Amino acid sequence: MTLIRKTINVKAPLTNEQLIELDEASKKSIIVDDECPEITEAEFAQFAEIAQKRREERKNPIVSIRLSPDTLDKAKKLGKGYTGILSRIIDKALNSPEFLRECL
């Protein structure tokens, strides 16, 4: 068995070579062995249940806060995921007693 690892930039369109490689890989049969047994429906259901529970545990509640237009513009300039960055900034600020005293 040969293991081939490739790194693909998922934001860039696939090259012709990559498309051919994917097409060839899709035609190969799946080999099940002792080290990698096929997943049963019951196991798949159990994995799905665990994944759902973990998603729920990690899910952050949605809150509304008022920001100045200037602050919001700066935050949006951080790009995609700026709300997560704001969340981490708030977490860090709330865990810093000196910073909290400065803001109060």
Percentage of the chain exceeding pLDDT 90: 56
Position 85 scores a pLDDT of 93
Residue extents of the structural domains in the chain: 69-103
pLDDT beyond 70 at 1:
no
Each residue's pLDDT tens digit, 3-35: 777 777 778 888 899 889 889 988 988 877 888
**Would the pTM of this model clear 0.75, i.e. be above it?**
no
pLDDT-derived band of residue 66, with 50, 70 and 90 as boundaries? very high
Rg (CA), the chain: 23
